[in-house]
Amino acid sequence: MGVLIKNGRVIDPSQSLDMVSDVYVQGDKVKEISKRIDTPRKSDTVIDASGQVVAPGLVDIHVHLREPGYEHKETIKTGCLAAAAGGFTSIVCMPNTNPINDNASVTEYILLKARTEGIVNVFPIGAITKREKGDELAEIGEMCEAGCVAISDDGMPVADSGLMRKAMEYVRPFGIPVITHAEDIGLSAGGVMNEGFVSTELGLRGIPSASEEVGIGRDIILCELTGTPLHICHVSTKGSVRLVREAKKRGAKVTAEATPHHFTLTDKEVYGYNTNAKMNPPLRTREDVDAIIEGIADGTIDVIATDHAPHSQDEKNVEFDLAPFGIVGLETALSLSLELVEKGIITLDEMIKKLTVIPSEIVGIERGTLAPGSIADLVVFDPGMSRMINPGEFLSKSRNTPFAGWELKGVVSNTIVSGKVVFSRS
Amino acid sequence: MAFDKKHILGLGELSAEEIKVILDTAESMKEISTRDVKKVPTLKGKTVVNLFFEPSTRTRSSFEIAEKRLSADVLNFSASQSSVVKGESLVDTARNFEAMGASIMVIRHGMSGAPFVLARQINASVINAGDGSHEHPSQALIDIFTIREKKGKIEGLNVLIVGDILNSRVARSNIFGLRKLGANVRIVGPATIVPEYFSEMGAEIFHSLEHAIENVDVVIMLRVQSERKTLEYFPSLREYSGLYGLTREKLKLAKKDVIVMHPGPINRGVELTSEIADDPGAVILEQVANGIAVRMAMIYLVALGESL
């Protein structure tokens, strides 16, 4: 049993590869990439990828799968379906479920569910502190052994700098990174959107840029103190981009991600009290968006990640203050990233790099490459085909997106995980 | 010019023309209040519900009198907090009243934007009676109506708003409305509650009352809203009152015929000294009286828009 993908433009930044060729997958491994491969066996599946791009399956290192505990928003099964539809073959999930993934038994539960019900690879992130309370360290070693690829208290940043330092020191021998949602809760002060002219006009409490920047500044300093690799989630401000750029220049082991919504939208989306434009960190100003785009272009921003945060319609269909933070992203990320290529900000190769090999390296998973002998996770997509974003067609359980009705390019035709076609669209 | 808005959600959403239509309509409504029988049959058979998710005495009473003078059937719903607390969503609550035949909903809510959530999802007309820190259009229309009555115009006047601008819905609505009608708006207060962003809304920012008050035609004093945690923005009421409380001394720096307004309820001795509150230049009780006429105009116009 094999899969032969013919005539696609094969782009694999891990091997500096970009040429029209055939890819042959045998079993769960990439067997061969060359100009012309004839079907070796009758039982092989043949995919005609003419005019399409064939790349390593996309890797998203910032996903909320909601299971266990919030199955009305998303399950591991539906989250994986949404990932496959969006071209993602590996997703790394945050620990803020219920119960929180702060011990090995929750980690094992997630991995078991993923193995039995999920169609893409799921790599869990463990909590830094017990119940994400910021009081005492979670059993990081055991979670690491159970399969956690990083630790993070995403959404509930560790306020105590001393504890954060201990977490970073403690985790270093385990060889996994600390992923930080950097925020100074005191500065955020109950804010619900970016602090600026729009929040002033709308009478909504603002979250200043300084809230994220103070958090990032602290965590960079702790990264330099401890020497533990630090990955910074969803950079949203101009000042944050500058802090990361300067830290990298000094040689700090810092990486950073940006989400498609933060490099595409501004806080003007909130006008009309649109709860699908409510997320944390919030949408910022044009100046911030431009700085993030600049950071993506010059490599300050290493990774594109979605912060896929499903919430039910009933939860979002309320007063702005009461609506939960977050939007879904798995099924729109590729198209929104392709906009950066279309505008000439990055090349297609660079875009794929930020969605495959770099995120894989950050969390240390053997994915994001089509090198012969590697696990056959692939995506085939048409970068030029347009489609209208229709949340009704999402495979995610939730529909909370600000991009409904947008006309975007980029359609995933096939997603292959470990040699199996798990998603296809004709 | 006709008024064809189905809802009145804020002055930010209305044009100068539409604001003038409301003010002109309010003048006719004021005449009704001078009659022996203070009632017209305009809204006979219509049901108006006052949905109050925040405590309010004068705004709710004023709306209720306005509705009754237009012969509407009036329903009052009050909850100390959003009904979400007991599990029902805002929209579901409103739909219940819609099912009872309410065609106009007057909503007061502690969270900014709540009337917008309703307007998007129900068929009835929505009038915003104050949402969080966002807008309080009826109060600003009353202020503007009263100013126009006293000064004969709005354009070119210097209007000063004093106090907690950041957390005030009255301030936002007044800035929108007064700017649209051509007044110069100044705002003054501690830097923590008079942030720079307001200059983008067209207001001139001051932090010294003595400087700000020079040559103004109108002073609007905002209430120190202790329930909105204003107190964390400055050290003490004593210090605030010393810096931003209006005294006769400071008032001398304004124009001779200055008028002093306050949306109420007054904290005597904090924002205003009693001698000013009770001075003939203070029009605070006239504001209250005008409130009924302005609110009659708002209800009448959305009812008209709804039947178009």
Is residue B279 located within the same domain as residue B299? Answer: no
Question: For B126-159, what is each residue's pLDDT tens digit?
Answer: 999 999 999 999 999 999 999 999 999 999 999 9
Is residue B207 located within the same domain as residue B236? Answer: yes
Question: For A96-108, what is each residue's pLDDT tens digit?
Answer: 999 999 999 999 9
Q: Smallest CA–CA separation between A204 and chain B, in Å?
A: 6
Is residue B164 located within the same domain as residue B97? Answer: no
Establish whether A219 is a catalytic residue.
no
Is residue B125 located within the same domain as residue B213? Answer: no
Nearest to B197 among A196, A272, A322 (CB): A196
Q: Supply the pLDDT for residue B84.
A: 52
Minimum CA–CA partner of A196 in chain B: B197
Is residue B143 located within the same domain as residue B272? Answer: yes
Q: Is residue B6 part of a domain?
A: no
Nearest to A200 among B84, B117, B198 (CB): B198
Q: Smallest CA–CA separation between A317 and chain B, in Å?
A: 8
B95, B112, B131, B201: which to substitute to probe chain A, counting the most A Cβ within 10 Å?
B112
Which of A167-176, A331-340, B86-95 comes out lowest in average pLDDT?
B86-95
Percent of chain B with pLDDT over 90: 74
The answer, yes or no, to whether residue B196 has pLDDT greater than 90, is: yes
Catalytic residue among A307, A314, A321, A349: A307
Question: Residue B198: which of B210, B211, B181, B186 has the closest Cα?
Answer: B186
Calculate mean pLDDT across residues A216-237.
98
Domain count, chain B: 2
The answer, yes or no, to whether residue A69 has pLDDT greater than 60, is: yes
Q: Is residue B84 part of a domain?
A: yes
Is residue B268 located within the same domain as residue B213? Answer: yes
Q: Is residue B244 part of a domain?
A: yes
Q: Supply the pLDDT for residue B3.
A: 87
Range of the domain at B16: 11-135+291-305
B83, B86, B89, B196: which to substitute to probe chain A, counting the most A Cβ within 10 Å?
B89
Is residue B142 located within the same domain as residue B283? Answer: yes
Q: Which residues of B touch A (CB under 8 A)?
A: 12, 82, 84, 89-91, 109, 111-114, 116-117, 120-121, 131-135, 166, 169, 172, 195, 197-198, 200-201
B126 chain-A contacts, CB cut-off 8 A: none
Q: Model ipTM?
A: 0.91
B261 pLDDT band, cuts 50/70/90, is very high
The answer, yes or no, to whether residue A39 has pLDDT greater than 80, is: no
Is residue B23 located within the same domain as residue B61? Answer: yes
**CATH number for B130:** 3.40.50.1370
The answer, yes or no, to whether residue B229 has pLDDT greater than 70, is: no
Q: Is residue B73 part of a domain?
A: yes
Q: Is residue B2 part of a domain?
A: no
Q: Does A200 touch chain B (CB under 8 A)?
A: yes
B212 pLDDT band, cuts 50/70/90, is very high
Q: Supply the pLDDT for residue B237.
A: 87
Is residue B199 located within the same domain as residue B258? Answer: yes
Is residue B35 located within the same domain as residue B55? Answer: yes
B112, A317: Cβ pair inside 8 Å?
no
Is residue B111 located within the same domain as residue B197? Answer: no
Is residue B177 located within the same domain as residue B267? Answer: yes
Q: Supply the pLDDT for residue B308.
A: 44
Q: Is residue B3 part of a domain?
A: no
Question: Residue B79: which of B52, B110, B56 has the closest Cα?
Answer: B52
A187, A192, A200: which to substitute to probe chain B, counting the most B Cβ within 10 Å?
A200
Q: Mean pLDDT of all residues in chain B? A: 91
Q: Is residue B4 part of a domain?
A: no
A202, B198: Cβ pair inside 8 Å?
no
The answer, yes or no, to whether residue A384 has pLDDT greater than 80, is: yes
